[in-house]
Structure 1
Amino acid sequence: MVEAHDEKKPARSRTWIVLSVLIAVIALAVAAAFIVPPLLAPSGQPTPSGSPSATPTVPPRDIVGTDAPRPSATPSPAPSASDSPFAELTPVAPDATVVTADRIDISLSRIEAVQGEAALAGETSGPAIRVTVRLVNEGSDPLDLEYVTVNAYSGKDRTPAGTLTQPGGAPFEGSLAPGDSAEGVYLFTVPESDRKDVTVTVDYLLGAQVAVFRGDLR
């Protein structure tokens, strides 16, 4: 009888070990039920009222818009400062229209003050102007808009302005058939303190003289 009693001890110990492990597993499962759900909560849930909100955007302000007064008569082609290829035409006011020798009407249909947003490498956020360039093809041949280049400068020395794509940039693309018009939107980083003398150039055709708009854009 003594030997039989001794053989049951290991079996009894194993039973207690199994029960202890099961109890531990159940305890861990209960704890996980309270801890894991908060960690997996969707990130899109409303944040507490005390959390910081997104930086407010600055609404655009028109400098020169579609309602601005424009010349009552169609202006003649702007006089050229030089007859050499790639030369610039004599500057005109920002609200004027340039009629080129190729019968392309060029105007700045809208100029707005906006808060520029850096979206691409090399761009810098900050105060900017958003320029809408309007082209009207009064000639007899289509105009390839892929080659249109718009630049901006500030001051008498024409310091180049940085370029941006947001908010709302939409460069020219495609082709402009005779009799049609198109608009392209370009953004430039020009601080408000430098907008007293701003130059905008529009190179609309390879080898043609460049249209130049210059004036106060404050």
Structure 2
Amino acid sequence: MDATEETQPNRRRVWITLSALVVVIALAVLGAIFVPPLLAGTPSTEPSASATPTTPPRDIVDPDAPRPTQTPTPAAGATDEPFAELSPVAPDQTIVTEEGIEISLSSLQAVDGQATLAGETSGPAIRATVRITNTGDEPLDLEYVAVNAYIGEDRAPAGTLTQPGGAPFEGTVEPGDSAEGTYLFSVPEADRDDVTLTVDYLFGAKVAVFRGDLR
């Protein structure tokens, strides 16, 4: 057998190998082009988070009801120290402070709290929208406004939440203007017969206090 006859089978094997390699590469390219869109169009069998049933918010205080104004005196035992409090008023009243600030709870609702941050616990919650109206002569910085909630006579601190709908105060409210901030607190339904909400709106000023039955 001469050298030409010996090289022909080798050439055939090389061409067969190259042809197979070309086919594999072509299939890989076609798979990369057509498979992802097909997979993306496949409907998911997992339930959507938005499909989870939730209890609609329930108004505790009628948001459209008139708010009687009240100028509370300092609470018994209050001093001129920071965080001294004014006497509590009902949740449906408006507090008028000696600094010319009006504070009210424009909305008070029972909601299902959603834990989204570390330390939060999902469950029954109170969502309070606080309205501050500046009837004084100077702008009021809202960045340091603190709203807190307490449960019962011994004022056990209620846990805080940010969802659904939390929107703390920010910015500044000018004289004659109003601003609102929304806060959520974990309060079991069985403990809502005595709830206290405090609004610390200005350093050195006595803290505004709302207390009542929020069932």
Interval containing the TM-score (normalised by the shorter chain): 0.7 to 0.9
Range with greater deviation from structure 2 (133-142 or 199-208): 133-142
Does residue 44 of structure 2 align to residue 10 of structure 1?
Answer: no
Q: How far 1:28 moved relative to its partner?
A: 2.6
Q: How far 1:22 moved relative to its partner?
A: 3.0
Task: Give the corresponding residue for 2:47.
Answer: 52
Task: Provide closer, same or farther for how the CA distance between residues 207 and 45 of structure 1 changes in structure 2, counting only shifts above 3 A.
Answer: farther
The answer (yes or no) to whether the contact 1:65–1:112 under 8 Å persists in 2 is no
Cα distance between partner residues in 2 of 1:189 and 1:42:
45
Task: Give the corresponding residue for 2:213.
Answer: 216
For 1:202, the aligned partner's letter is V
Q: How far 1:138 moved relative to its partner?
A: 1.5
Task: Give the corresponding residue for 2:106.
Answer: 109
Q: How far 1:30 moved relative to its partner?
A: 6.2
- Runs of 4+ aligned residues of structure 1 deviating over 6 Å after TM superposition are none
**1:78 aligned residue (72, 80, 83):** 72
Task: Provide closer, same or farther for how the CA distance between residues 79 and 46 of structure 1 changes in structure 2, counting only shifts above 3 A.
Answer: farther
Cα distance between partner residues in 2 of 1:197 and 1:79:
21
User: Percent of pairs identical after alignment?
Assistant: 59
Quick check: which has more Rg, 1 or 2? 1
Does residue 18 of structure 2 align to residue 22 of structure 1?
Answer: yes
Range with greater deviation from structure 2 (191-200 or 114-123): 114-123
**5+ long unaligned stretches in structure 1:** none
Instruction: After superposition, give the CA deviation of every residue in 1:59-118 in whole Å (9 maximum; x if it has no partner).
Output: 3222224223532xx32x102111332211111111111111112111111011222223
RMSD, aligned CA:
2.4
For 1:40, the aligned partner's letter is P
Task: Give the corresponding residue for 1:203.
Answer: 200
Task: Give the corresponding residue for 2:97.
Answer: 100
- TM-score where L is the length of structure 2: 0.85
Does residue 184 of structure 2 align to residue 187 of structure 1?
Answer: yes
Count of aligned pairs between the two proteins = 210
